[in-house]
Amino acid sequence: MNARTIKRISEYISKPIVIFDLETTGAKPDEDEIVQFGGVRIEPNGTHEVFSFLCKPDKKIHPEAVKVHGITEAQLKSEKPFKHYSSQIDKFFKDADIAGFNIKVFDHVIIKRQMQNSGFMNTFENANIIDSYLIFLKDCPRNLGSAKKYYTGKPMENAHDALGDVLATSEILAEQLLEHKIDDVAEAIKKKEYITYDKKKQPILNFSKKHKGKLLKNVDVSFLKWVLTKDFPDDVKAIIKKYVK
């Protein structure tokens, strides 16, 4: 683990933080399971601990997932199940905030569900979630490799290896903490961004499989009207109303 990265992050935190990443059986956070965990726990005093493991899931690994991370069922045949590591994970995350790349809607959902299924109901009870992906979207909407290149000037190494992704995210977070005010970071992690903006400050829809990524002015009016009937935040509806004639 890069000593400079650890030192920089430790200077900005008042409680421990665990930066982690998962490789899984598929892309459905409410259904799929962990096949690899990688994490680093950083203390405010600058000390750190690295923890990673492979585990055998109860469900089959989707072929598309194998294409992404390269972990096959044959490789996991002799590995222990996730539950075997649950007490270690509970201790690893104890009293810490958590961080990662796109963890808020994926990694955190999966690991919280599997920990609860293993009998650990409160592992993340007091943890703040810092999602580097949400912060990165403010600067340059792309992927983890592009984020690392953007913030550190270095290419991505060991992509789609859980611990490799953790190391990259750690370097990104260290740079982000320097570049952004802490209040800006806190706001980014608390607020789900239904609408983002391009360089010309034009609003872009940030949800819906069909319309995500489109300028609001180019989204079907019928869809925008539908949004106005649903439980979206008032500030989001106020923006959308401007594009409904």
Return the top range by mean pLDDT from 13-27, 176-190, 198-212: 13-27
User: Do 12 and 46 touch, CB atoms closer than 8 A?
Assistant: no
Which of 5-19, 97-111, 158-172, 193-207 is predicted with the least confidence, judged by mean pLDDT? Answer: 158-172
Kindly state whether residues 62 and 171 are assigned to the same domain: yes
Average pLDDT for 30-36: 95
Residues of the chain above pLDDT 90, percent: 50
Kindly state whether residues 167 and 58 are assigned to the same domain: yes
Kindly state whether residues 208 and 181 are assigned to the same domain: no
Q: Name the domain boundary from 172, 190, 208.
A: 190
Domain that holds residue 133: 3-190
User: Do 24 and 165 touch, CB atoms closer than 8 A?
Assistant: no
Kindly state whether residues 160 and 200 are assigned to the same domain: no
Average pLDDT for 100-108: 92
Kindly state whether residues 186 and 223 are assigned to the same domain: no
Q: Any bridge partners for residue 49, and if so which? A: 41
Number of domains present in the structure of the chain: 2
Average pLDDT for 58-85: 95
Report the relative pairing of strands 34-42 and 17-24 from DSSP bridges: antiparallel
Expressed in percent and rounded to 5, the helix, strand and coil fractions of the chain are 40, 15, 40
Kindly state whether residues 124 and 145 are assigned to the same domain: yes
Kindly state whether residues 149 and 221 are assigned to the same domain: no
CATH no. for residue 157?
3.30.420.10
Report the relative pairing of strands 17-24 and 203-205 from DSSP bridges: unpaired
Residue 203 has pLDDT above 70, yes or no: yes
Kindly state whether residues 179 and 231 are assigned to the same domain: no
Phi-psi region of 208 (alpha: psi -120 to 50; beta: other; left: phi over 0): left
Kindly state whether residues 32 and 136 are assigned to the same domain: yes
Average pLDDT for 208-233: 84
| Residue with more model confidence, 201 or 90 | 90
**Distance between CA atoms of 175 and 166, rounded to whole angstroms?**
14
Taking the CA atoms of 153, 154, 155 and 156 in sequence, report the sign of the dihedral they define: negative
Q: Which of 38, 51, 39, 47 is nearest to 16 (CA)?
A: 47
Q: Is the pTM of this model over 0.85?
A: no
pLDDT at 180: 55
Kindly state whether residues 47 and 157 are assigned to the same domain: yes
Kindly state whether residues 159 and 52 are assigned to the same domain: yes
Kindly state whether residues 54 and 169 are assigned to the same domain: yes
**Distance between CA atoms of 71 and 23, rounded to whole angstroms?**
8
Which of 24-28, 67-71, 180-184, 197-201 is predicted with the least confidence, judged by mean pLDDT? Answer: 180-184
